[in-house]
């Protein structure tokens, strides 16, 4: 039995905050602790009580005065785009053709895929993200690289090979049958192995023929416990192109609805220009609209209308969307989310931001029993946040009066420098990476 006792200010949500200071939505313990046993949370709460439950030989990691939260969750990004962040000047379709479809061809090389997959997972961990849902490239070897890197680190990760059989370079195209066969084989190999979850991933309507959408329908029907991820309504030119390819569909959302791709495990990136009818379809099916603020600003795509999602009862989550997204940091992502909503006269409260990065995104993934909060029995994926991680933050924190104010400072000014440590299934990971980097330097 391995036990670790973490000390710090423990914060975990139990429900979605309603308003700026909804104290019933979270549990906060100033002199708190989390006892981790065999990779699970055994108990979280007052240090005095939790430490009584620990074995006399327990190892203690004292993180006071930092915050102890569940690991952060990212519900949409692209692992093969790790090295293509910050590609200049283009909107979605031109950006895909100029930069991304060139970059993703490199993942035919298993060695390159393995190198980037390792760096990708370490980048997530440096930023306090312990679970993410990512697209791999069209190459099955990119999926092997992705899940292998996650498995080596013990991370709960969701991913899948993109399927695309048109409007892409030949080197990135599969065929409907190949997309089906490769996806099927990868599901058999990875889904449910350790902490891996597979996402059936037709990239978007523009890059899949009706035949490939039929194959996607079959995959979804045959694997109800897999996720489905695709893109929807991100950019006006994209919408015009997609709907022109499916002239019988009522609108963009209806393209996916017709192929039964909207389920309560479907993650739909962006969802910026949806009509009320389309958002209502998401509400009926339980599909999730994924808000990617840094990406939507970077590509000049548009502004996600959170209030309309809430009013129509549709589910939504938050994500970085690296490499159109400009940061792996969920803190920086929520900073931009706040501004995108502010531009539309909408408010995103600090409590809601931290709920979204943790329990909210876990619920979007239907993984709230495992991750996103520090309940007994949860997987011990934990982030330690230092609200004074930068000198300007240390100065600003001197005037902070409350937890809510501190959280707002963290999301507005924070980044990976505020992640003091991250635990995956009870193992400290951030220090581990520094040691590995030093070894790399020593042997160079
Ligand atoms: N739509 C289809 N593929 C992509 C992608 O890789 N990134 C973004 N932002 N949108 C997409
Ligand atoms: Zn995307």
For the segment 368-419, what is each residue's pLDDT rounded down to a tens digit?
Answer: 999 999 999 999 999 999 999 999 999 999 999 999 999 999 999 999 999 9
- List the one residue out of 434, 423, 420, 411 whose CA is nearest residue 389: 420
For ligand 1, atom 11, the nearest C-alpha belongs to 231
From the CA of 320, how far away is ligand 1's center (Å)? 12
Judge if the beta carbon of residue 231 lies within 6 A of ligand 1: yes
Res. 237: pLDDT tops 80: yes
Res. 9: pLDDT tops 60: yes
- Mutation choice for ligand 1 from 95, 136, 269, 295, CB with most ligand atoms inside 8 A: 269
Sheet holding 419-424, edge to edge: 40-46, 26-37, 3-13, 59-70, 382-385, 419-424, 427-428
Q: What's the rounded mean pLDDT across residues 241-270?
A: 98
Ligand nearest to the CA of 325: 1
- List the one residue out of 357, 433, 438, 358 whose CA is nearest residue 122: 433
Q: What's the rounded mean pLDDT across residues 111-125?
A: 98
From the CA of 427, how far away is ligand 2's center (Å)? 30
Q: Which residue has the tokens 């989550």?
A: 317
For the segment 38-93, what is each residue's pLDDT rounded down to a tens digit?
Answer: 999 999 999 999 999 999 999 999 999 999 999 999 999 999 999 999 999 999 99
Q: What's the rounded mean pLDDT across residues 326-343?
A: 98
Judge if the beta carbon of residue 204 lies within 6 A of ligand 1: yes
From the CA of 180, how far away is ligand 1's center (Å)? 21
Instruction: Check: CB of residue 126 under 8 Å from CB of residue 430.
Output: yes
- Mutation choice for ligand 1 from 166, 324, 325, 326, CB with most ligand atoms inside 8 A: 324
What is the pLDDT at residue 2? 87
Nearest atom, ligand 1, residue 299 CA = 9
Judge if the beta carbon of residue 295 lies within 6 A of ligand 1: yes
Ligand nearest to the CA of 238: 1
CA–CA gap between residue 372 and residue 362 (Å, rounded): 5
What is the pLDDT at residue 430? 84
Q: Which residue has the tokens 């329990």?
A: 359
Judge if the beta carbon of residue 324 lies within 6 A of ligand 1: yes
Burial class (CB in 10 A: 0-12, 13-18, 19+), 440: exposed
Q: Which residue has the tokens 């090295």?
A: 83
From the CA of 231, how far away is ligand 1's center (Å)? 7
Judge if the beta carbon of residue 321 lies within 6 A of ligand 1: yes
Q: Residues with Cβ within 5 Å of ion ligand 2?
A: 269, 321
């Amino acid at each position: 039995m391995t036990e670790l006792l973490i000390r710090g200010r423990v914060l975990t949500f139990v429900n979605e905050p309603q308003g700026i200071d909804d104290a019933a939505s979270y549990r906060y313990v100033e002199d708190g602790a989390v006892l981790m046993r065999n990779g699970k949370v055994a108990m979280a709460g007052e240090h005095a009580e939790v430490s009584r439950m620990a074995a006399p030989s327990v190892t203690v990691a004292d993180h006071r005065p930092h915050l102890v939260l569940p690991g952060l969750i990212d519900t949409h990004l692209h692992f093969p785009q790790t090295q293509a962040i910050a590609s200049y000047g283009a909107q979605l379709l031109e950006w895909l053709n100029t930069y991304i479809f060139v970059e993703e061809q490199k993942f035919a090389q298993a060695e390159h895929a393995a190198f980037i997959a390792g760096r990708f997972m370490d980048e997530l961990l440096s930023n306090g993200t312990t679970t993410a849902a990512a697209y791999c490239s069209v190459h099955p070897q990119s999926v092997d690289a992705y899940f292998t890197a996650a498995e080596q680190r013990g991370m709960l990760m969701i991913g899948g090979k993109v399927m695309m059989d048109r409007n892409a370079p030949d080197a990135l195209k599969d065929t409907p049958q190949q997309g089906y066969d490769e996806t099927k084989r990868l599901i058999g190999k990875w889904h449910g192995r350790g902490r891996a979850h597979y996402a059936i991933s037709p990239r978007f309507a523009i890059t899949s023929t009706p035949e490939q959408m039929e194959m996607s329908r079959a995959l979804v029907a045959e694997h109800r416990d897999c996720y489905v991820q695709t893109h929807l309504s991100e950019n006006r030119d994209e919408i015009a192109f997609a709907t022109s390819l499916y002239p019988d569909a009522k609108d963009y959302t209806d393209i996916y609805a017709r192929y039964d791709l909207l389920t309560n495990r479907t993650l739909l990136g962006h969802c910026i220009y949806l009509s009320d009818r389309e958002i209502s379809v998401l509400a009926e099916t339980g599909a999730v609209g994924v808000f990617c603020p840094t990406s939507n600003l970077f590509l000049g795509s548009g502004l996600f209308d959170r209030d309309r999602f809430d009013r129509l009862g549709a589910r939504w989550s938050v994500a970085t969307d690296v490499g159109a997204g400009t940061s792996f940091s969920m803190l920086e992502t929520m900073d931009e989310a706040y501004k995108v909503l502010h531009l539309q006269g909408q408010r995103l409260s600090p409590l809601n931001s931290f709920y979204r990065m943790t329990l909210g995104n876990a619920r979007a993934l239907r993984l709230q029993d495992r991750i996103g909060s520090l309940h007994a029995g949860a997987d011990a994926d934990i982030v330690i946040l230092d609200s004074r991680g930068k000198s300007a933050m240390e100065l600003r924190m001197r005037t902070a009066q409350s937890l809510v104010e501190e959280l707002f400072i963290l999301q507005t000014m924070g980044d990976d420098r505020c992640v003091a440590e991250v635990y995956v299934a009870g193992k400290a990971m951030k220090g581990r990476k520094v040691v590995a980097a030093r070894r790399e330097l020593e042997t160079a």
